[in-house]
Structure 1
Amino acid sequence: MQFKTTKKGIAMRQKNIILSFAVVGAFAAGMAASPLAQHLVADAHAEQAPLVPAVIDLNAITHAALPATPYPELRSKILVNTDNATVNLQSGNVGKHIHAKTDEIQYIVEGTGSMWLGGELKEFKPGTLIIIPKGTAHAGAVVTSGPVKAIAIKIPPQAKDDISFVN
């Protein structure tokens, strides 16, 4: 039996492979880099349950299904919580802010638009990986198609008080 391989099918497989490597690589890099930083941040996160094997269908989780946050336009759910990092699925916007003690990596799963990163407006689309070093101002998106859904990796886990809003 032979299967026809289309250009679209090959491109989809390549996109999925690249996505997998990007997310795993970003998470692994953060996990390797953060043990020292974790010891410098007291009360960085709440108690977490031990990791268990899981498969999560991110496409099946809608904006409305994500829990509300203190920020009216942002919804977020913790997917992974360890001593070294957290992985959230988030959807929506939040005003321009910085995290003084937490690096953030976002992977855009769904939606297109632009966001503030430092002093520049940067465009994004599904498949975009956004690196936000601690102390870098960043802000919610100007959405051109959405809602915008992103995986947000925080290294080390973000303390509740590690957010400062800026103009």
Structure 2
Amino acid sequence: MRINKTVAFAMTFCAGLLASPLIQHAVSEARADAPALPATIIDLLAIKHDDLPKTANAELNARPLVITDHATVGIQSGNVAKHIHPQTDEIQYIIEGSGSMWLGNERKDFKPGSLIIIPKGTAHAGSIVSNGPVKAIAIKIPPQGKTDTVFVD
């Protein structure tokens, strides 16, 4: 009985050694078939509010720039009512414009160069624009689903 277990263990170990390169090859082939991100440079300062497509939010124009399985990067310009994303973390980098926004229960000032971290479930909204329109890079992790915006009071 003890010899059978030892032989079975040795055979399993050898099978693993033989299968490992095959599995690694199959995984790399699968990754090679996935569409790669194109290498590119985008002049964000050249993109103006009216260059961006309108959204369902009357004051907000936006366009996706990068879409992956794990995150999206977009550019947005304008304002949006207070809302949450129950499933998505959001990071915004302000390119142009300044003012204040709701972040949770507090009004926070922002200006070009501000990095805004919005954990999923945190209420946020544009509020008072002192110099605008406000243009920002919006990173969504994971990619935001179509039903992942819930407007709040």
What TM-score, normalized to structure 2?
Answer: 0.76
Q: Which residue does 1:132 correspond to in 2? A: 118
Q: Which residue does 1:76 correspond to in 2? A: 62
SS in 1 for 2:45: helix
4+ residue runs of structure 1 moved beyond 3 angstroms?
none
Whole-angstrom distance in 2 between the partners of 1:142 and 1:64: 20
Q: Assess, with a 3 A threshold, how the Cα gap between structure 1 residues 97 and 54 changes in structure 2: closer, same or farther.
A: same
Alpha-carbon shift at residue 49 of structure 1 (Å): 5.8
The match for 1:115 among 69, 82, 101 is: 101
Letter matched to residue 104 of structure 1: E
Gaps of 5+ in 1: 1-47
Q: Which residue does 1:97 correspond to in 2? A: 83
Q: Assess, with a 3 A threshold, how the Cα gap between structure 1 residues 54 and 141 changes in structure 2: closer, same or farther.
A: farther
Q: Assess, with a 3 A threshold, how the Cα gap between structure 1 residues 65 and 115 changes in structure 2: closer, same or farther.
A: same
CA RMSD in angstroms comes to 1.2
1:66-113: per-residue Cα shift (whole Å, max 9, x none)?
Answer: 011111100001010000000000000110000000000000000010
Question: Number of residue pairs matched?
Answer: 120
The match for 1:158 among 130, 144, 150 is: 144
1:118-153: per-residue Cα shift (whole Å, max 9, x none)?
Answer: 000000000000000000000123100011000000
Between Structure 1 and Structure 2, whose CA radius of gyration is higher? 2
Gaps of 5+ in 2: 1-33
What TM-score, normalized to structure 1?
Answer: 0.70
